[in-house]
Structure 1
């Protein structure tokens, strides 16, 4: 069977890529100082998409090989369909959330310095002016479980007095410190199984 060498090659390629990315992150971390500006970066996106993409990379070829096999019996079709459903069940929701969050925050930048009491949001490089007193309420939406591939996807919605709503997603950064910074506003915490916008 040619399937097992293919899976082995994919796993070896994945291990080399992960090692190279970790080395690159280590080297760039030595020469850069910590920034208080957050925007969409490939490192953050890879961090969130690692397990869903790994699931697709390992399971996808198995499903494809099963579909390309010679005549399939009813039992084989059932097994391949079950495997495809499991793969899509694990990776699909994370990919949908990632796409939705990417479309929402691709032009958003966040500057967050809690020690200086500074929280600024930029859309298309233009500052959206507001103060903490203008924030009427904050919605902090997290996933109920910490065990799913999509559990790290969460978002904050800042409702301003002028009716404007700012949405910050976990693609920008870990939002828990921002939510804690805004805890003195009217903070509403929600837990959902799947944090669709």
Structure 2
């Protein structure tokens, strides 16, 4: 077989995922709940799982048609191209949003502990100087297209009185508890089909 080396790689990947998942579960039993949120690999994987799975399904057809026992016909190439375009249309917007949110928040750290009335934002390790009273308004944008791969991508923009805007994306954490915590600040809520910042 031409692709016989793929089976051991897939088996090793599954075993590695199971071991890492079990280790994370065990460590989660003994760790206290965190109030520090960053763009972690686990959070990114949670958001990207379905888009990457769809993209992988689309790309997996291409080698099968290109390196088959018999040359593929024009019709088979057209079907392969159509399937590839379809999966790119499904996963592409989520991948673009993920990349955009990562460029905005990959160096951002959010410290959010509502029980202690603590809300701080750090950029590249430095605390952004603002207090809750400095917030002029909040813009909360959620996704209207609920049955898409990019439905979980949304953002919150904090408009400060001095004109600065701090953008917090769903790459850091779920943003609805934070919006609820800041409910005393005037909030503009809107829904968009694609939450591009």
**Fold conserved (TM > 0.5)?**
yes
Distance 1:9 1:125, change over 3 A: same
The match for 2:191 is: 191
Secondary structure of 1:194's counterpart equals: coil
SS of aligned partner of 1:156: strand
Residue 120 of structure 1 aligns to a residue whose secondary structure is strand
Aligned: 1:157 with 2:157: yes
CA contact (8 A) 1:11 1:58 kept: no
> For 1:144-197, what per-residue CA distance to the aligned partner results, in whole angstroms no more than 9, with x for missing partners?
122211111111100000011000011111111011111221111111111111
Contact 1:63/1:83 (8 A) holds in 2: no
TM-score normalized by the length of structure 1: 0.88
Q: Please report the TM-score for the alignment, with normalisation by the length of structure 2.
A: 0.88
Structure 2 Cα separation of the partners of residues 155 and 6 of structure 1: 42
Residue of structure 1 in register with 2:42 after alignment: 43
Q: What CA distance in whole angstroms lies between the structure 2 residues aligned with 1:60 and 1:141?
A: 32
Question: Offset at 1:85?
Answer: 1.1
Aligned CA distance change for structure 1 residues 83 and 171 (closer, same or farther; 3 Å): same
Q: CA 1:62–1:20 in 2, change beyond 3 Å: closer, same or farther?
A: farther
The corresponding residue for 2:52 is 53
For residue 109 of structure 2, give the secondary structure of its aligned residue in structure 1.
strand
Moved more, 27-36 or 54-63: 54-63
- Tell me: CA distance 1:21–1:52, structure 2 relative to 1, closer, same or farther (3 Å): farther
Structure 2 counterpart SS, 1:86? helix
Checking the alignment, whether the CA contact within 8 Å between 2:58 and 2:88 is kept in structure 1 is: no
Match runs of 1:16-95 below 5 Å? 16-69=15-68, 70-95=70-95
Alpha-carbon deviation of 1:65? 2.0
- Please give the alpha-carbon distance, in whole angstroms, between the structure 2 residues aligned to 1:13 and 1:169: 34
Deviation of 1:52 after TM superposition, in Å, equals 1.4
Shift of 1:14: 5.9
Contact 1:143 1:153 in 2 (8 A): yes
Deviations 1:74-125 (A, max 9, x none): 3212211111012111221111111111111111100101122211001111
Q: 1:51 to 1:16 in 2, by over 3 A?
A: farther
- Give the aligned partner of residue 172 of structure 1: 172
Q: Contact 2:97 / 2:150 at 8 angstroms: preserved in 1?
A: yes
Paired residue secondary structure (1:94): helix
Residue 126 of structure 1 corresponds to: 126
Distance (Å, rounded) in 1 between the aligned partners of 2:147 and 2:157: 24
Distance in 2 (alpha carbons) for counterparts of 1:10 and 1:93: 29
Unaligned runs of 5+ in 1: none
Q: CA RMSD in A?
A: 2.3
